[in-house]
Amino acid sequence: MVLGVSGGIAAYKAVEVCRRLFDAGAYVSPVLTPAALRFVGAVTFSAVASEPARTALWDDPDPIPHTRLGQSADLVVVAPATADLLARYAAGMADDLLTATLLATRAPVLVCPAMHTEMWEHPSVQDNLATLRRRGVHVLEPASGRLAGGDVGTGRLAEPADIVSAAAGVLGRSGPGLDLAGRRVLVTAGGTREAIDPVRVITNRSSGKQGYALAERASRRGAEVVLVTTVERPTPPGVEVVRVVSAADMEEAVVPRAADMDVVIMAAAVADFRPKAVADHKIKKGDGLPEIILEPTHDFLEDLGRHKPSGQVLVGFAAETEAVEDNARQKLTRKRLDLIVANDVSAEGVGFEHDTNSVVILGSDGSRSEVPLTTKEAAADAVLDAVSHRLRAGQRSSRSPEEPTGSRSS
């Protein structure tokens, strides 16, 4: 992938784009225009990309760097694309390495414009974009927000995560292993902790490993992933992590985000009961045996099932110790899920705290697939295979993977 960077203040954000593309598994070759070098250093990109950043047509060891880059790229992303870069690209100029590469390539191109609102709205910029769109160039439109110099308006470079997601979406048509490109996926992980007093909690044995594996694999497969977790583990590349403690916190983090998601996977072991009253101070031994009255927590997966947007794939987990499939199927129906992942946590090497898992994935369409004892990463891939199948099987998505995010409004 060639990441072209032209000379605007948003060039600093392109460093994050570069890192995220690399983390998502892309081989990234950065190309900076001379104007970009006034905002950011080539070394910064070299440090986070797959190969050193290139900045000129002439001083490269390769006599024809533009044709080599253009021919070998699967995708060229230009972020930020300034008004000047768009004009030169639309006019077919090749006066620096980036524009020469853009002319030399037959790979799909995604441009991510960023400039001041007045420039963005200027007819010449809009005409150039219309020309580029007509030629098949993908455009991820700028967002509204704070601009250089404290101004506010349209022209702000799209967020790095959105750029990566749009890039994956463009590649999704032909890119191998990117079947979740352009999809937004929310995963929950870990056991919730319900306070008894400021010191003590009621919790469960969930380690969060399966949820983290799901988040990591979904991100690798091109999805934009939010992981809501109660446990602290190394953050999987490209994944946005939201930390929570209790079932109520998890609900607060998950429910408002769920409506925008293509996929919600509730791998967390959410407490079913919590102490009715939380003592303000540590309960002292000397006061005798405390009586802890429990109350039910709210089953928000049931709510998510009830309010599921059309096209969303909703996945629950069922950790059981008996009548595993019967219990899981009942939950699948009661909570209006598309898929449920059932595991017998009393079996050897399965579920909580282990690095391995053995699951049965049941679908609301009657499908059933068994995953014998394997790593949690492989179990995650099996779950995501089922999710991907459901997404493809005619479930209308809120955002088509064939279409980069920004082109919706274009």
Cβ contact 353:343 at 8 Å: no
Strands 194-195 and 201-202: antiparallel
CB of 249 to ligand CTP, least distance (A): 12
Residue 110 makes contact with ligand CTP by CB under 6 A? no
Among 128, 204, 327, 357, the active-site one is: 204
**For ligand CTP, the closer CB: 166 or 271:** 271
Q: Which of 84, 114, 83, 86 is nearest to 102 (CA)?
A: 86
Q: Does 300 bind ligand CTP (CB under 6 A)?
A: yes
Residue closer to ligand CTP, measured from CB, 272 or 295: 272
Q: Which member of 209, 331, 376, 390 binds ligand CTP (CB under 6 A)?
A: 331
Position among 319, 339, 371, 382 found at the interface with ligand CTP (CB under 6 A):
319
Applying CB under 6 A, the span of 47-55, 281-289, 311-319, 351-359 interacting with ligand CTP comes to 311-319
Could you say whether residue 318 binds ligand CTP (CB under 6 A)? yes
Q: Which is nearer to ligand CTP, 82 or 312 (CB)?
A: 312
Q: How far apart are the first and last CA of the chain?
A: 24
Q: Concatenated DSSP letters for 361-402?
A: EEETTS-EEEEEEEEHHHHHHHHHHHHHHHHHTT---SS-TT
Supply the minimum distance, in Å, between the C-beta of residue 306 and ligand CTP. Answer: 12
For ligand CTP, which stretch binds (CB under 6 A), given 107-115, 150-158, 226-234, 298-306? Answer: 298-306
**198 vs 296, beta carbon nearer ligand CTP:** 296
Quote the least distance from Cβ 330 to ligand CTP, whole Å.
Answer: 9
Could you say whether residue 301 binds ligand CTP (CB under 6 A)?
yes
User: Quick one: 79 or 247, whose CB is closer to ligand CTP?
Assistant: 247
Binding to ligand CTP by residue 316, rule CB under 6 A? yes
360 binding ligand CTP? (CB under 6 A): no
**Catalytic (active site) residue 204:** yes
CB of 299 to ligand CTP, least distance (A): 4
Distance of closest approach, residue 166 Cβ to ligand CTP, in angstroms: 30
Q: Least distance (Å) from ligand CTP to the CB of residue 397? A: 22
Task: State yes or no: residue 354 binds ligand CTP (CB under 6 A).
Answer: no
Q: Does 297 bind ligand CTP (CB under 6 A)?
A: yes
In whole angstroms, give the CA distance from residue 311 to residue 184. Answer: 12
**DSSP annotation string for 140-175:** ---EEEE-GGG-EEEEEPPPHHHHHHHHHHHHTTT-
Total of chain residues touching ligand CTP, rule CB under 6 A: 14
The span of 14-22, 175-183, 232-240, 310-318 binding ligand CTP (CB under 6 A) equals 310-318
Would you say 32 or 187 has its CB closer to ligand CTP?
Answer: 187
- How are strands ordered across the β-sheet holding 76-81? 29-32, 2-5, 76-81, 109-113, 138-139
Residue 272 as a binder of ligand CTP (CB under 6 A): the answer is yes
CA distances from 229 to 188, 243, 260, 308 (A): 6, 5, 19, 22
DSSP 259-315: TT-SEEEE-SB--SEEESS--SSPPPGGG------EEEPP-HHHHHHHTPPTT-EEE
Q: Which residues are 227's β-sheet partners?
A: 187, 241
The rounded distance, in Å, linking the Cα atoms of 371 and 344 is 12
* Closest CB to ligand CTP among residues 299, 403: 299
For ligand CTP, the closer CB: 77 or 332? 332
Q: Which string of b and e fits 18-53 if b means at least 16 CB within 10 Å?
A: bbbbbbbbbebbbbbbebbbebbebebbeebbeeeb
List CB contacts of 76: < 8 A, sequence separation 6 or more.
Answer: 1, 2, 4, 70, 101, 102, 105, 107, 108, 109, 110
Check binding of 212 to ligand CTP (CB under 6 A). Answer: no
Q: Is 92 left (phi over 0), alpha (psi -120 to 50) or beta?
A: left
Q: Which residues bind ligand CTP (CB under 6 A)?
A: 247, 266, 268, 270, 272, 297, 299-301, 316-319, 331
Which sequence positions are flagged as catalytic? 204
